[in-house]
Amino acid sequence: MAKTSEKALAAIHTAMTADPVTGQVSTVPTPRLKRQVTRPLLKQRVGQEVWVKFVGKIFQSEKITTGKAAEDAKLPPMMAFVLDLFGGGVGEYQYIIPAVLRSELERAYPNGSYEGLCFHIQKLGPDKEAGKLYNNFRIVETFDPADEDGHMQDGAA
């Protein structure tokens, strides 16, 4: 799994804390990460947009083998480790990958080539008119907000 460099995290933090009008950066100190032991879960509701960078390939999480959760457990969910680029958090998150999102990413980016790329993902909900029960997603590859000199990309293609 790719590790996020301290320089990249600092650039992302700078991009998140810069005033959009003046460009001045907040005086909030950038935390220096040594090791992330646990990863919070990045949850996405219908209609919600997330801006993420995949720092690893999609994988199946571990199956729970003890307690009541083990009795109720189905197949463990598919997961990926991501950076939440504009959510205000620092470090990596666990992101549960629904089957539709996984298949779209794997079709567009074979062999895990989405790893290291940034995306804007919006959970749209099911297409009820077509009788679908699963959620649809809008997936857009974006520029990495931290280029080599640490400034926001202008978005021009």
Interval 115-141: pLDDT, tens = 999 999 999 988 888 888 889 999 999
Task: Tell me: pLDDT of 152 over 60.
Answer: no
Distance CA(93)–CA(46), nearest Å, equals: 19
* pLDDT confidence of residue 6: 66
Show me where the domains of the chain are located: 1-18+43-61+73-152
Instruction: Determine the average pLDDT of the residues in 46-60.
Output: 88
Which token pair is 58? 């999609």
Q: What pLDDT shows up at residue 156?
A: 40
Whole-number percent of the chain with pLDDT over 90? 20
d(CA 130, CA 128): 5
Q: Model confidence at 15, in pLDDT bands (50, 70, 90)?
A: low
End-to-end Cα distance, the chain: 28
pTM: 0.63
